[in-house]
Structure 1
Amino acid sequence: MCSILELSNIDYIYHTKDGETKALSNISFTLSNGEFVAIVGPSGCGKSTLLSLICGLLVPSGSISFMGHPLQSKDILNMGYMLQKDHLLEWRTIASNVQLGLEIQHKMTPENLAYASRLLETYGLADFAAKRPSELSGGMRQRAALIRTLVLRPELLLLDEPFSALDYQTRLNVSNDIGTILRQEHKTAILVTHDLSEAISMGDRVIVLSHRPGTIRSIIPISFDPGLTPLEKRNDSHFKSYFNLIWKEFNQNE
Protein backbone atom coordinates (compact mmCIF):
# COMPACT_ATOMS: atom_id res chain seq x y z
CA MET A 1 0.00 0.00 0.00
CA CYS A 2 1.49 3.38 -1.00
CA SER A 3 2.09 6.14 1.52
CA ILE A 4 -0.15 9.20 1.30
CA LEU A 5 1.33 11.08 4.28
CA GLU A 6 4.74 10.99 5.96
CA LEU A 7 5.81 12.93 9.04
CA SER A 8 9.51 12.94 9.95
CA ASN A 9 11.00 14.34 13.19
CA ILE A 10 8.20 16.85 13.75
CA ASP A 11 8.65 19.41 16.55
CA TYR A 12 6.42 22.37 17.29
CA ILE A 13 6.83 25.22 19.79
CA TYR A 14 4.20 27.85 20.64
CA HIS A 15 5.76 31.29 21.24
CA THR A 16 4.08 33.93 23.40
CA LYS A 17 5.24 37.11 25.14
CA ASP A 18 5.61 35.04 28.32
CA GLY A 19 7.93 32.49 26.75
CA GLU A 20 7.65 29.33 24.71
CA THR A 21 5.83 26.02 25.13
CA LYS A 22 6.95 22.92 23.31
CA ALA A 23 3.79 21.16 22.10
CA LEU A 24 5.22 18.25 20.08
CA SER A 25 8.59 16.52 19.95
CA ASN A 26 10.09 14.08 17.42
CA ILE A 27 6.84 12.88 15.83
CA SER A 28 7.37 10.45 12.95
CA PHE A 29 4.88 8.15 11.24
CA THR A 30 3.46 7.32 7.82
CA LEU A 31 -0.12 6.88 6.68
CA SER A 32 -0.95 4.50 3.84
CA ASN A 33 -3.64 5.07 1.24
CA GLY A 34 -7.00 3.86 2.60
CA GLU A 35 -5.76 3.58 6.19
CA PHE A 36 -7.60 4.93 9.25
CA VAL A 37 -5.32 6.04 12.11
CA ALA A 38 -6.61 7.18 15.51
CA ILE A 39 -4.50 9.45 17.74
CA VAL A 40 -5.07 9.41 21.50
CA GLY A 41 -3.32 11.02 24.43
CA PRO A 42 -3.90 13.17 27.52
CA SER A 43 -5.39 16.67 27.27
CA GLY A 44 -2.88 19.24 26.08
CA CYS A 45 -0.49 16.74 24.49
CA GLY A 46 -0.71 18.33 21.03
CA LYS A 47 -3.24 16.09 19.23
CA SER A 48 -5.13 18.95 17.57
CA THR A 49 -1.88 20.84 16.95
CA LEU A 50 -0.71 17.82 14.96
CA LEU A 51 -3.76 18.05 12.67
CA SER A 52 -3.09 21.78 12.18
CA LEU A 53 0.46 20.96 11.10
CA ILE A 54 -0.70 18.26 8.69
CA CYS A 55 -3.12 20.59 6.91
CA GLY A 56 -0.60 23.42 6.74
CA LEU A 57 -2.18 25.83 9.22
CA LEU A 58 1.01 25.72 11.30
CA VAL A 59 4.61 25.22 10.17
CA PRO A 60 6.72 22.70 12.13
CA SER A 61 10.37 21.85 12.47
CA GLY A 62 10.93 18.60 10.60
CA SER A 63 9.27 17.54 7.36
CA ILE A 64 5.80 16.55 6.16
CA SER A 65 5.25 14.88 2.79
CA PHE A 66 1.81 14.55 1.21
CA MET A 67 1.14 12.30 -1.77
CA GLY A 68 4.86 11.97 -2.48
CA HIS A 69 5.95 15.61 -2.27
CA PRO A 70 6.75 18.15 0.48
CA LEU A 71 3.54 19.62 1.91
CA GLN A 72 2.40 22.74 0.04
CA SER A 73 -0.34 25.27 0.74
CA LYS A 74 -2.37 24.03 -2.25
CA ASP A 75 -2.51 20.54 -0.70
CA ILE A 76 -5.18 21.69 1.75
CA LEU A 77 -7.63 21.48 -1.18
CA ASN A 78 -7.08 17.71 -1.14
CA MET A 79 -7.87 17.44 2.58
CA GLY A 80 -11.17 17.45 4.43
CA TYR A 81 -11.43 18.67 8.04
CA MET A 82 -14.26 17.76 10.44
CA LEU A 83 -14.45 19.61 13.76
CA GLN A 84 -16.32 19.02 17.02
CA LYS A 85 -19.24 21.16 15.80
CA ASP A 86 -20.90 20.58 12.45
CA HIS A 87 -20.95 24.31 11.54
CA LEU A 88 -23.97 23.87 9.27
CA LEU A 89 -25.48 27.20 8.21
CA GLU A 90 -29.03 27.54 9.52
CA TRP A 91 -30.24 29.75 6.66
CA ARG A 92 -29.31 27.08 4.10
CA THR A 93 -31.04 23.77 3.45
CA ILE A 94 -29.19 20.52 4.05
CA ALA A 95 -28.67 20.13 0.30
CA SER A 96 -27.19 23.63 -0.03
CA ASN A 97 -25.05 23.10 3.07
CA VAL A 98 -23.64 19.95 1.48
CA GLN A 99 -22.90 21.94 -1.70
CA LEU A 100 -21.16 24.81 0.13
CA GLY A 101 -17.60 23.62 -0.56
CA LEU A 102 -18.44 23.06 -4.21
CA GLU A 103 -19.69 26.65 -4.43
CA ILE A 104 -16.59 28.07 -2.78
CA GLN A 105 -14.26 26.09 -5.03
CA HIS A 106 -16.36 26.81 -8.16
CA LYS A 107 -17.04 23.12 -8.72
CA MET A 108 -20.84 23.15 -9.10
CA THR A 109 -20.71 20.83 -12.08
CA PRO A 110 -23.56 18.43 -12.96
CA GLU A 111 -21.26 15.53 -12.07
CA ASN A 112 -20.46 16.90 -8.61
CA LEU A 113 -24.08 17.84 -7.88
CA ALA A 114 -25.14 14.32 -8.85
CA TYR A 115 -22.46 12.93 -6.54
CA ALA A 116 -23.78 15.09 -3.67
CA SER A 117 -27.31 13.80 -4.29
CA ARG A 118 -26.03 10.21 -4.37
CA LEU A 119 -24.28 10.64 -1.02
CA LEU A 120 -27.44 12.09 0.53
CA GLU A 121 -29.44 9.16 -0.80
CA THR A 122 -26.91 6.50 0.17
CA TYR A 123 -26.53 7.75 3.73
CA GLY A 124 -30.14 8.38 4.55
CA LEU A 125 -30.52 12.14 4.18
CA ALA A 126 -32.24 12.46 0.81
CA ASP A 127 -35.64 12.95 2.46
CA PHE A 128 -34.18 15.80 4.52
CA ALA A 129 -32.40 17.63 1.68
CA ALA A 130 -34.88 20.54 1.81
CA LYS A 131 -34.87 20.76 5.63
CA ARG A 132 -32.95 23.27 7.75
CA PRO A 133 -30.22 22.05 10.14
CA SER A 134 -32.38 22.82 13.20
CA GLU A 135 -34.89 20.23 11.97
CA LEU A 136 -32.32 17.40 12.15
CA SER A 137 -30.98 15.42 15.09
CA GLY A 138 -27.38 15.85 16.19
CA GLY A 139 -26.38 12.61 14.52
CA MET A 140 -28.01 13.55 11.23
CA ARG A 141 -26.29 16.94 11.30
CA GLN A 142 -22.90 15.25 11.69
CA ARG A 143 -23.71 12.95 8.79
CA ALA A 144 -24.56 16.02 6.70
CA ALA A 145 -21.27 17.63 7.73
CA LEU A 146 -19.39 14.50 6.64
CA ILE A 147 -21.17 14.45 3.27
CA ARG A 148 -20.27 18.14 2.83
CA THR A 149 -16.64 17.07 3.29
CA LEU A 150 -16.81 13.93 1.13
CA VAL A 151 -18.43 15.68 -1.82
CA LEU A 152 -15.11 17.47 -2.45
CA ARG A 153 -13.46 14.04 -2.85
CA PRO A 154 -10.56 14.72 -0.45
CA GLU A 155 -7.53 12.43 -0.47
CA LEU A 156 -7.21 12.72 3.33
CA LEU A 157 -9.77 13.32 6.08
CA LEU A 158 -8.78 14.95 9.37
CA LEU A 159 -11.30 14.32 12.16
CA ASP A 160 -10.81 16.45 15.29
CA GLU A 161 -13.07 14.87 17.93
CA PRO A 162 -16.11 15.15 15.63
CA PHE A 163 -18.42 13.24 18.00
CA SER A 164 -17.51 14.85 21.34
CA ALA A 165 -20.46 17.27 21.37
CA LEU A 166 -22.99 14.40 21.14
CA ASP A 167 -24.61 12.49 23.97
CA TYR A 168 -23.21 8.99 24.58
CA GLN A 169 -25.87 6.97 22.75
CA THR A 170 -25.86 9.29 19.75
CA ARG A 171 -22.07 9.29 19.76
CA LEU A 172 -21.99 5.49 19.52
CA ASN A 173 -24.43 5.47 16.61
CA VAL A 174 -22.81 8.36 14.73
CA SER A 175 -19.25 7.03 15.10
CA ASN A 176 -20.56 3.70 13.83
CA ASP A 177 -22.26 5.39 10.86
CA ILE A 178 -19.30 7.57 9.96
CA GLY A 179 -16.75 4.79 10.41
CA THR A 180 -18.81 2.58 8.11
CA ILE A 181 -19.22 5.37 5.54
CA LEU A 182 -15.48 6.04 5.43
CA ARG A 183 -14.78 2.34 4.86
CA GLN A 184 -17.36 2.19 2.07
CA GLU A 185 -15.89 5.30 0.42
CA HIS A 186 -12.32 3.91 0.86
CA LYS A 187 -11.15 7.11 2.53
CA THR A 188 -7.83 7.72 4.28
CA ALA A 189 -8.40 9.34 7.66
CA ILE A 190 -6.80 10.52 10.90
CA LEU A 191 -9.04 10.73 13.97
CA VAL A 192 -8.11 12.66 17.12
CA THR A 193 -10.10 11.49 20.14
CA HIS A 194 -10.03 11.16 23.93
CA ASP A 195 -12.21 8.04 23.72
CA LEU A 196 -10.09 4.88 23.69
CA SER A 197 -13.03 2.67 22.70
CA GLU A 198 -13.76 4.95 19.76
CA ALA A 199 -10.12 4.82 18.65
CA ILE A 200 -10.01 1.00 18.83
CA SER A 201 -13.34 0.47 17.06
CA MET A 202 -12.54 2.86 14.18
CA GLY A 203 -8.79 2.72 13.67
CA ASP A 204 -6.43 0.40 11.79
CA ARG A 205 -3.72 1.70 14.12
CA VAL A 206 -3.81 3.71 17.34
CA ILE A 207 -1.01 6.21 18.00
CA VAL A 208 -0.59 6.95 21.72
CA LEU A 209 0.98 10.32 22.59
CA SER A 210 2.64 11.22 25.88
CA HIS A 211 2.04 14.30 28.03
CA ARG A 212 3.24 17.62 26.61
CA PRO A 213 5.45 17.88 24.75
CA GLY A 214 3.66 15.12 22.88
CA THR A 215 5.89 12.28 21.76
CA ILE A 216 4.84 8.91 20.36
CA ARG A 217 4.77 6.38 23.19
CA SER A 218 3.54 3.56 21.00
CA ILE A 219 1.79 2.70 17.74
CA ILE A 220 -0.61 -0.20 18.17
CA PRO A 221 -1.92 -2.11 15.12
CA ILE A 222 -5.63 -3.00 15.41
CA SER A 223 -6.96 -6.06 13.61
CA PHE A 224 -10.57 -7.25 13.50
CA ASP A 225 -12.63 -9.15 10.96
CA PRO A 226 -12.85 -6.63 8.08
CA GLY A 227 -16.62 -7.16 7.83
CA LEU A 228 -17.32 -5.81 11.32
CA THR A 229 -18.76 -2.34 11.86
CA PRO A 230 -17.23 -0.12 14.59
CA LEU A 231 -20.16 -0.97 16.89
CA GLU A 232 -19.71 -4.70 16.30
CA LYS A 233 -15.99 -4.45 17.04
CA ARG A 234 -16.80 -3.26 20.57
CA ASN A 235 -18.36 -6.68 21.21
CA ASP A 236 -15.51 -8.66 19.65
CA SER A 237 -13.44 -10.90 21.93
CA HIS A 238 -10.23 -9.02 21.04
CA PHE A 239 -11.59 -5.59 21.95
CA LYS A 240 -10.85 -5.85 25.67
CA SER A 241 -7.22 -6.84 25.03
CA TYR A 242 -6.66 -3.77 22.85
CA PHE A 243 -8.35 -1.55 25.41
CA ASN A 244 -6.19 -2.91 28.27
CA LEU A 245 -3.03 -2.46 26.21
CA ILE A 246 -3.77 1.19 25.43
CA TRP A 247 -4.99 1.84 28.97
CA LYS A 248 -1.63 0.55 30.23
CA GLU A 249 0.13 3.11 28.04
CA PHE A 250 -2.04 5.83 29.58
CA ASN A 251 -1.13 4.70 33.07
CA GLN A 252 2.53 4.93 32.09
CA ASN A 253 1.77 8.47 30.95
CA GLU A 254 0.49 9.28 34.41
Structure 2
Amino acid sequence: MEPLITCNHVNYTYHTLQGETPALRNIDFQVKKGEFVSIVGPSGCGKSTLLSLLCGLLEPESGTIEFCGEPLSNKNRSNIGYMLQHDHLFEWRSVRKNILLGLEIQKKLSPESIQEADHLLKLYGLYPFKDAKPSQLSGGMRQRAALIRTLLLHPELLLLDEPFSALDYQTRLQVSDDIGSIIRNSKKTAILVTHDLSEAVSLGDRIIVLTAVPAMVKKIITTDFPKDMSPLERRNTSEFKDYFNLIWKELNPHEP
Protein backbone atom coordinates (compact mmCIF):
# COMPACT_ATOMS: atom_id res chain seq x y z
CA MET A 1 0.00 0.00 0.00
CA GLU A 2 1.30 3.45 -0.92
CA PRO A 3 2.29 5.50 2.15
CA LEU A 4 0.18 8.54 2.99
CA ILE A 5 3.07 10.47 4.47
CA THR A 6 6.82 9.87 4.27
CA CYS A 7 9.71 11.46 6.16
CA ASN A 8 12.96 11.16 4.20
CA HIS A 9 16.03 11.85 6.38
CA VAL A 10 14.46 14.95 7.93
CA ASN A 11 16.65 17.28 10.00
CA TYR A 12 15.62 20.38 11.91
CA THR A 13 17.58 22.89 14.02
CA TYR A 14 16.34 25.84 16.04
CA HIS A 15 18.36 29.00 15.41
CA THR A 16 18.48 31.71 18.08
CA LEU A 17 20.78 34.60 19.01
CA GLN A 18 22.36 32.28 21.57
CA GLY A 19 23.24 29.68 18.94
CA GLU A 20 21.88 26.56 17.28
CA THR A 21 19.91 23.78 18.95
CA PRO A 22 19.55 20.60 16.88
CA ALA A 23 16.03 19.21 17.42
CA LEU A 24 15.60 16.36 14.92
CA ARG A 25 18.23 14.30 13.14
CA ASN A 26 17.76 11.96 10.19
CA ILE A 27 14.08 11.20 10.89
CA ASP A 28 13.00 8.50 8.45
CA PHE A 29 9.63 6.69 8.47
CA GLN A 30 6.40 6.14 6.54
CA VAL A 31 2.76 6.02 7.59
CA LYS A 32 0.30 4.04 5.48
CA LYS A 33 -3.32 4.94 4.82
CA GLY A 34 -5.61 3.83 7.65
CA GLU A 35 -2.74 3.35 10.07
CA PHE A 36 -2.60 4.72 13.62
CA VAL A 37 0.98 5.55 14.64
CA SER A 38 2.06 6.63 18.13
CA ILE A 39 5.24 8.62 18.71
CA VAL A 40 6.97 8.52 22.10
CA GLY A 41 10.27 9.80 23.40
CA PRO A 42 11.93 11.59 26.31
CA SER A 43 10.44 14.92 27.39
CA GLY A 44 11.67 17.77 25.21
CA CYS A 45 13.04 15.51 22.49
CA GLY A 46 11.18 17.25 19.66
CA LYS A 47 7.96 15.26 19.27
CA SER A 48 5.78 18.36 18.85
CA THR A 49 8.39 19.86 16.52
CA LEU A 50 8.01 16.77 14.35
CA LEU A 51 4.23 17.24 14.22
CA SER A 52 4.74 20.89 13.22
CA LEU A 53 6.90 19.68 10.33
CA LEU A 54 4.35 17.04 9.33
CA CYS A 55 1.56 19.61 9.02
CA GLY A 56 3.71 22.20 7.23
CA LEU A 57 3.96 24.78 10.03
CA LEU A 58 7.74 24.31 9.90
CA GLU A 59 9.97 23.27 7.01
CA PRO A 60 12.82 20.74 7.30
CA GLU A 61 16.33 22.13 7.36
CA SER A 62 17.24 19.19 5.16
CA GLY A 63 15.45 16.07 3.97
CA THR A 64 11.92 15.95 2.61
CA ILE A 65 8.36 15.24 3.71
CA GLU A 66 5.96 13.79 1.14
CA PHE A 67 2.18 13.67 1.42
CA CYS A 68 0.31 11.35 -0.97
CA GLY A 69 3.49 10.97 -3.01
CA GLU A 70 4.04 14.72 -3.46
CA PRO A 71 6.17 17.22 -1.51
CA LEU A 72 4.24 18.65 1.44
CA SER A 73 3.14 22.17 0.51
CA ASN A 74 0.41 24.74 1.07
CA LYS A 75 -1.51 23.03 -1.72
CA ASN A 76 -1.95 19.68 0.03
CA ARG A 77 -1.49 20.44 3.73
CA SER A 78 -5.16 21.48 3.92
CA ASN A 79 -5.84 17.72 3.91
CA ILE A 80 -4.14 17.42 7.32
CA GLY A 81 -6.11 17.96 10.54
CA TYR A 82 -4.41 18.95 13.80
CA MET A 83 -5.87 18.20 17.24
CA LEU A 84 -4.07 20.03 20.03
CA GLN A 85 -3.69 19.52 23.78
CA HIS A 86 -6.53 21.97 24.43
CA ASP A 87 -9.84 21.89 22.59
CA HIS A 88 -9.89 25.64 21.81
CA LEU A 89 -13.67 25.80 21.79
CA PHE A 90 -15.01 29.37 21.90
CA GLU A 91 -17.24 30.05 24.90
CA TRP A 92 -19.41 32.57 23.05
CA ARG A 93 -20.39 29.97 20.44
CA SER A 94 -22.64 26.98 20.99
CA VAL A 95 -21.25 23.46 20.59
CA ARG A 96 -22.87 23.20 17.16
CA LYS A 97 -21.45 26.54 16.02
CA ASN A 98 -18.03 25.59 17.37
CA ILE A 99 -17.84 22.42 15.32
CA LEU A 100 -18.93 24.33 12.20
CA LEU A 101 -16.19 26.96 12.65
CA GLY A 102 -13.61 25.27 10.42
CA LEU A 103 -16.12 24.99 7.60
CA GLU A 104 -17.02 28.67 8.02
CA ILE A 105 -13.37 29.73 7.86
CA GLN A 106 -12.78 27.65 4.73
CA LYS A 107 -16.08 28.92 3.24
CA LYS A 108 -17.35 25.34 2.90
CA LEU A 109 -20.50 25.68 4.98
CA SER A 110 -23.52 24.21 3.20
CA PRO A 111 -26.84 22.52 4.06
CA GLU A 112 -25.14 19.18 3.43
CA SER A 113 -22.24 19.93 5.78
CA ILE A 114 -24.64 21.11 8.49
CA GLN A 115 -26.59 17.86 8.07
CA GLU A 116 -23.33 15.92 8.41
CA ALA A 117 -22.44 17.89 11.54
CA ASP A 118 -25.76 16.98 13.13
CA HIS A 119 -25.26 13.34 12.16
CA LEU A 120 -21.84 13.28 13.89
CA LEU A 121 -23.23 15.04 16.96
CA LYS A 122 -25.91 12.33 17.22
CA LEU A 123 -23.45 9.52 16.49
CA TYR A 124 -21.07 10.57 19.26
CA GLY A 125 -23.64 11.53 21.88
CA LEU A 126 -23.41 15.32 21.72
CA TYR A 127 -26.62 16.22 19.90
CA PRO A 128 -28.58 16.92 23.12
CA PHE A 129 -25.89 19.52 23.94
CA LYS A 130 -25.71 21.14 20.50
CA ASP A 131 -27.02 24.48 21.83
CA ALA A 132 -24.98 24.39 25.03
CA LYS A 133 -21.86 26.46 25.67
CA PRO A 134 -18.52 24.61 26.00
CA SER A 135 -18.37 25.39 29.75
CA GLN A 136 -21.45 23.20 30.18
CA LEU A 137 -19.63 20.14 28.80
CA SER A 138 -17.30 17.72 30.55
CA GLY A 139 -13.67 17.58 29.44
CA GLY A 140 -14.30 14.41 27.48
CA MET A 141 -17.31 15.87 25.69
CA ARG A 142 -15.27 18.95 24.75
CA GLN A 143 -12.59 16.74 23.19
CA ARG A 144 -15.21 14.82 21.22
CA ALA A 145 -16.56 18.16 19.95
CA ALA A 146 -13.05 19.21 18.94
CA LEU A 147 -12.57 15.94 17.03
CA ILE A 148 -15.92 16.34 15.23
CA ARG A 149 -14.85 19.86 14.22
CA THR A 150 -11.71 18.37 12.69
CA LEU A 151 -13.48 15.41 11.03
CA LEU A 152 -15.98 17.72 9.30
CA LEU A 153 -13.11 19.08 7.21
CA HIS A 154 -12.50 15.53 5.89
CA PRO A 155 -8.74 15.44 6.52
CA GLU A 156 -6.82 12.49 5.13
CA LEU A 157 -4.40 12.63 8.05
CA LEU A 158 -5.03 13.49 11.71
CA LEU A 159 -2.18 14.76 13.88
CA LEU A 160 -2.86 14.44 17.61
CA ASP A 161 -0.58 16.41 19.94
CA GLU A 162 -1.26 14.93 23.41
CA PRO A 163 -4.99 15.67 23.10
CA PHE A 164 -5.86 13.94 26.38
CA SER A 165 -3.15 15.39 28.64
CA ALA A 166 -5.40 18.02 30.27
CA LEU A 167 -7.92 15.40 31.45
CA ASP A 168 -7.99 13.53 34.75
CA TYR A 169 -6.86 9.91 34.58
CA GLN A 170 -10.27 8.23 34.52
CA THR A 171 -11.64 10.66 31.92
CA ARG A 172 -8.44 10.30 29.90
CA LEU A 173 -8.90 6.52 29.70
CA GLN A 174 -12.50 6.82 28.52
CA VAL A 175 -11.87 9.66 26.05
CA SER A 176 -8.81 8.03 24.49
CA ASP A 177 -10.92 4.89 24.04
CA ASP A 178 -13.77 6.92 22.50
CA ILE A 179 -11.60 8.97 20.18
CA GLY A 180 -9.39 6.03 19.21
CA SER A 181 -12.48 4.06 18.25
CA ILE A 182 -13.98 7.01 16.36
CA ILE A 183 -10.78 7.44 14.32
CA ARG A 184 -10.62 3.72 13.48
CA ASN A 185 -14.31 3.52 12.58
CA SER A 186 -13.95 6.53 10.27
CA LYS A 187 -10.89 4.80 8.71
CA LYS A 188 -8.70 7.87 9.21
CA THR A 189 -4.91 7.84 9.30
CA ALA A 190 -3.59 9.26 12.57
CA ILE A 191 -0.28 10.14 14.20
CA LEU A 192 -0.35 10.60 17.98
CA VAL A 193 2.35 12.24 20.09
CA THR A 194 2.13 11.23 23.75
CA HIS A 195 4.18 10.89 26.93
CA ASP A 196 1.87 8.12 28.11
CA LEU A 197 3.28 4.74 27.05
CA SER A 198 0.04 2.91 27.90
CA GLU A 199 -1.82 5.32 25.63
CA ALA A 200 0.70 4.77 22.85
CA VAL A 201 0.29 0.98 23.01
CA SER A 202 -3.49 0.97 23.42
CA LEU A 203 -3.99 3.18 20.35
CA GLY A 204 -1.08 2.49 18.01
CA ASP A 205 -0.66 0.00 15.19
CA ARG A 206 2.99 1.01 15.39
CA ILE A 207 4.95 2.94 18.00
CA ILE A 208 7.90 5.09 16.91
CA VAL A 209 10.41 5.49 19.75
CA LEU A 210 12.60 8.60 19.57
CA THR A 211 15.90 9.22 21.35
CA ALA A 212 16.72 12.26 23.48
CA VAL A 213 17.35 15.54 21.68
CA PRO A 214 18.43 15.76 18.91
CA ALA A 215 15.76 13.14 18.31
CA MET A 216 16.44 10.20 16.05
CA VAL A 217 14.25 7.16 15.40
CA LYS A 218 15.57 4.55 17.84
CA LYS A 219 13.07 1.78 17.19
CA ILE A 220 9.71 1.17 15.51
CA ILE A 221 7.52 -1.40 17.26
CA THR A 222 4.56 -3.02 15.49
CA THR A 223 1.65 -4.15 17.66
CA ASP A 224 -0.44 -7.19 16.83
CA PHE A 225 -3.88 -6.76 18.36
CA PRO A 226 -7.13 -7.87 16.70
CA LYS A 227 -8.43 -5.07 14.46
CA ASP A 228 -11.82 -4.97 16.19
CA MET A 229 -10.33 -4.64 19.69
CA SER A 230 -10.92 -1.29 21.39
CA PRO A 231 -8.09 0.64 23.11
CA LEU A 232 -9.51 -0.26 26.54
CA GLU A 233 -9.73 -3.93 25.59
CA ARG A 234 -6.10 -3.87 24.46
CA ARG A 235 -5.06 -2.80 27.96
CA ASN A 236 -6.47 -6.06 29.38
CA THR A 237 -4.35 -8.38 27.23
CA SER A 238 -1.07 -10.03 28.19
CA GLU A 239 0.55 -8.60 25.04
CA PHE A 240 -0.14 -5.07 26.26
CA LYS A 241 2.29 -5.43 29.16
CA ASP A 242 4.95 -6.92 26.87
CA TYR A 243 4.76 -3.98 24.46
CA PHE A 244 4.79 -1.51 27.36
CA ASN A 245 7.92 -3.10 28.85
CA LEU A 246 9.65 -3.20 25.47
CA ILE A 247 9.10 0.53 24.95
CA TRP A 248 10.11 1.30 28.53
CA LYS A 249 13.42 -0.51 28.05
CA GLU A 250 14.07 1.42 24.83
CA LEU A 251 13.52 4.70 26.67
CA ASN A 252 15.37 3.59 29.83
CA PRO A 253 18.09 1.20 28.59
CA HIS A 254 20.08 1.27 31.87
CA GLU A 255 17.19 0.15 34.05
CA PRO A 256 16.76 -3.59 34.81
Instruction: Please give the range of the TM-score, normalised by the shorter of the 2 chains.
Output: over 0.9
Greater mean alpha carbon deviation, residues 17-26 or residues 102-111: 102-111
**In structure 2, C-alpha distance between the alignment counterparts of 1:210 and 1:23, rounded to whole Å:** 11
TM-score (norm 2): 0.98
Q: Which residue does the alignment assign to 2:34?
A: 34
Q: Which residue does the alignment assign to 1:56?
A: 56
Task: Give the CA RMSD over aligned residues.
Answer: 1.0
Displacement, 1:253? 7.9
Displacement, 1:68? 1.2
Query: How do 1:138-217 and structure 2 match up within 5 A?
Result: 138-217=139-218
Displacement, 1:74? 2.4
Displacement, 1:112? 1.3
SS at match of 1:74: coil
- Contact 1:210–1:253 (8 Å) recurs in 2: no
**In structure 2, C-alpha distance between the alignment counterparts of 1:227 and 1:45, rounded to whole Å:** 33
Q: Which residue does the alignment assign to 1:7?
A: 7
**In structure 2, C-alpha distance between the alignment counterparts of 1:36 and 1:246, rounded to whole Å:** 17
**In structure 2, C-alpha distance between the alignment counterparts of 1:153 and 1:253, rounded to whole Å:** 44
**In structure 1, C-alpha distance between the alignment counterparts of 2:88 and 2:55, rounded to whole Å:** 19
SS at match of 1:64: strand
Displacement, 1:115? 1.1
- Contact 1:211–1:253 (8 Å) recurs in 2: no
* Per-residue CA distance 1:11-50 (angstroms, 9 max, x = gap): 0000000000000000000010000000000011110000
Q: Which residue does the alignment assign to 1:93?
A: 94
Q: Which residue does the alignment assign to 1:220?
A: 221
* Paired amino acid for 1:21: T
SS at match of 1:147: helix
Identity of aligned residues (%): 63
* Per-residue CA distance 1:130-189 (angstroms, 9 max, x = gap): 100000000000000000000000000000000000000000000000000001100000
Displacement, 1:2? 2.1
* Paired amino acid for 2:17: K
Unaligned runs of 5+ in 1: none
SS at match of 1:73: coil
Task: Classify 1:181/1:208 alpha carbon distance in 2 versus 1 (closer, same or farther; 3 Å).
Answer: same
Displacement, 1:225? 1.3
* Per-residue CA distance 1:64-103 (angstroms, 9 max, x = gap): 1001101111222111101110000000000000000000
* Paired amino acid for 1:196: L
* Per-residue CA distance 1:102-141 (angstroms, 9 max, x = gap): 0000011122111111111100001110100000000000
* Paired amino acid for 1:151: L
Paired residues in the alignment total 254
Q: Which residue does the alignment assign to 1:251?
A: 252
**In structure 2, C-alpha distance between the alignment counterparts of 1:179 and 1:122, rounded to whole Å:** 15
- Contact 1:119–1:147 (8 Å) recurs in 2: yes
Q: Which residue does the alignment assign to 2:137?
A: 136
Correspondence 1:18 to 2:26: no
Task: Classify 1:253/1:214 alpha carbon distance in 2 versus 1 (closer, same or farther; 3 Å).
Answer: farther
Unaligned runs of 5+ in 2: none
Displacement, 1:230? 0.2
Correspondence 1:73 to 2:74: yes
* Paired amino acid for 1:227: D
**In structure 1, C-alpha distance between the alignment counterparts of 2:115 and 2:30, rounded to whole Å:** 34
Regions of 4+ moved over 3 Å: none
Q: Which residue does the alignment assign to 1:120?
A: 121
Greater mean alpha carbon deviation, residues 152-161 or residues 221-230: 221-230
- Contact 1:6–1:28 (8 Å) recurs in 2: yes
